[in-house]
Amino acid sequence: MSWFSIVFFIGAMFGACTAQLCPTFYATSCPNVSSIVRDVVRQARQSDARLGAKIIRVHFHDCFVNGCDGSVLLDDADGIQTERSAIPNQSLSGLDVVDNIKTALESVCPGVVSCADILALASEILVSLDGGPTWEVQLGRRDSRTANLAGTSAIPLANDGAHTFGKAQCVTFRNRLYNFDGNGNPDPTIDATYLQTLRQNCPQNSGNSTRSDLDPTTPNGFDNNYFMNLQNNRGLLQSDQELFSTSGADTVAIVNGFAGSQTQFFDTFGDSMIKMGNIRTLTGTNGEIRINCRRIN
């Protein structure tokens, strides 16, 4: 017997799901969880083509502050300072749909499915509805009883790219268009035609919250066009374009690989999402299953 099978066997004996995440966590407690989430998001997506982008971003901001524990969903309350008042929240949205998913689940399996798991499940379902990959969503996260506003400063300022769909506000990239070097010049890595288009939608002195597509080629589709855009100097955020334009960076080969192979991008993306979803989760008897994602029980 290999080490792997011994560990696997012991894990199975004691129920591998109790101390770590697993895909079948709700198999007996809420067997229909995926189709319930799917129904709500499919409906909501009909009137909001950007829903997938909104929800996966909420999941990312949840996982990068105190781990994937639903903390980002908490509203201000006694003893709770919402994480969404931090500058990097930059207009997180889609929370109304998370509320609707929670309501649907509470009516079928009350007190069972965590808000943190809702974000992980809804992200996967929406990415695949938008044309992206599927992956095996790990489940069993529990929700925090605290928020960590100060921890939002840990949201990284480098970038690894789910920016194949969704939008960014003018204020997040304006300096690239008008005054990148402090002398009134634009970022030299922006394609000249793209620069003109962006300037029309993001004037120098107004329109902070006007949004532009992160992927101007296929704005709502989850695909590898984003990487081809970078090769053509059409990345919207500085942190995106740097992946390709920083000479000598390891990321240049990654961009070229993903631009050349959507399959390679999809496989890697699915693996990354599973890793991201594993960041410091609460399991077992830690935390709680919130009844309302916006407040602790």
Ligand X SMILES: *[C@@H]1O[C@H](CO)[C@@H](O)[C@H](O)[C@H]1NC(C)=O
Catalytic positions are: 61
| Total site size for ligand X, rule CB under 6 A | 13
Binds 36: which of ligand HEM, ligand X, none (CB < 5-8 Å by kind): ligand X
Q: Looking only at residues 69 through 98 of this chain, which bind ligand X when binding is defined by CB under 6 A? A: 84-85, 87, 89, 91-93
Task: For residue 66, state whether it binds ligand X (rule: CB under 6 A).
Answer: no
- For 181, the 3-state DSSP assignment is coil
Measured from the CB atom, is 234 or 294 closer to ligand X? 294
Among 60, 135, 227, 258, which residue interacts with ligand HEM (rule: CB under 6 A)? 60
d(CA 151, CA 239): 21
Torsion from C-alpha of 118, 122, 123, 124, nearest 10 degrees:
110
Q: How far does CA 105 lie from the centroid of its chain?
A: 21
Q: In which residue are the tokens 């709770």 written?
A: 80
Among 149, 155, 171, 279, which residue interacts with ligand X (rule: CB under 6 A)? 171
Using CB positions, name the residue nearest to ligand HEM: 166
Binds 270: which of ligand HEM, ligand X, none (CB < 5-8 Å by kind): none
Task: For residue 255, state whether it binds ligand HEM (rule: CB under 6 A).
Answer: no
Task: For residue 103, state whether it binds ligand X (rule: CB under 6 A).
Answer: no
Residues 6+ apart with CB under 8 A from 30: 105, 108, 109, 112, 113
Instruction: List for the chain the helix, strand, coil content (%; round to 5).
Output: 45, 5, 45
Find out whether 234 and 216 touch, Cβ atoms under 8 Å: yes
Task: For residue 292, state whether it binds ligand HEM (rule: CB under 6 A).
Answer: no
Could you tell me which of 33, 5, 35, 29 has the C-alpha nearest to residue 17? 29
Q: Looking only at residues 18 through 57 of this chain, which bind ligand X when binding is defined by CB under 6 A? A: 32, 35-36, 39
Q: In which residue are the tokens 């199975």 written?
A: 12
Half-sphere exposure in the Cβ direction for 263 (13 Å, CA) = 0
d(CA 26, CA 34): 10
| Total site size for ligand HEM, rule CB under 6 A | 24
Binds 60: which of ligand X, ligand HEM, none (CB < 5-8 Å by kind): ligand HEM
Measured from the CB atom, is 53 or 105 closer to ligand HEM? 53
* Stretch of residues binding ligand HEM (CB under 6 A), selected from 51-59, 79-87, 96-104, 196-204: 51-59
Task: For residue 56, state whether it binds ligand HEM (rule: CB under 6 A).
Answer: yes
Letters for 145-184 (x = contact with ligand HEM by CB under 6 A, - = none) are -----------xxxxx-xx-xxxxx--x------------
Could you tell me which of 136, 107, 115, 104 has the C-alpha nearest to residue 24? 136
Task: For residue 57, state whether it binds ligand HEM (rule: CB under 6 A).
Answer: yes
- For 77, the 3-state DSSP assignment is strand
Measured from the CB atom, is 195 or 237 closer to ligand HEM? 237
Q: How far is CA 102 from CA 33, 76, 98, 115, 230, in A?
A: 11, 19, 6, 7, 38
Q: Which residues bind ligand HEM (CB under 6 A)?
A: 50, 53-54, 56-57, 60, 90-91, 156-160, 162-163, 165-169, 172, 214, 237, 239
Q: Which residues bind ligand X (CB under 6 A)?
A: 32, 35-36, 39, 84-85, 87, 89, 91-93, 171, 208
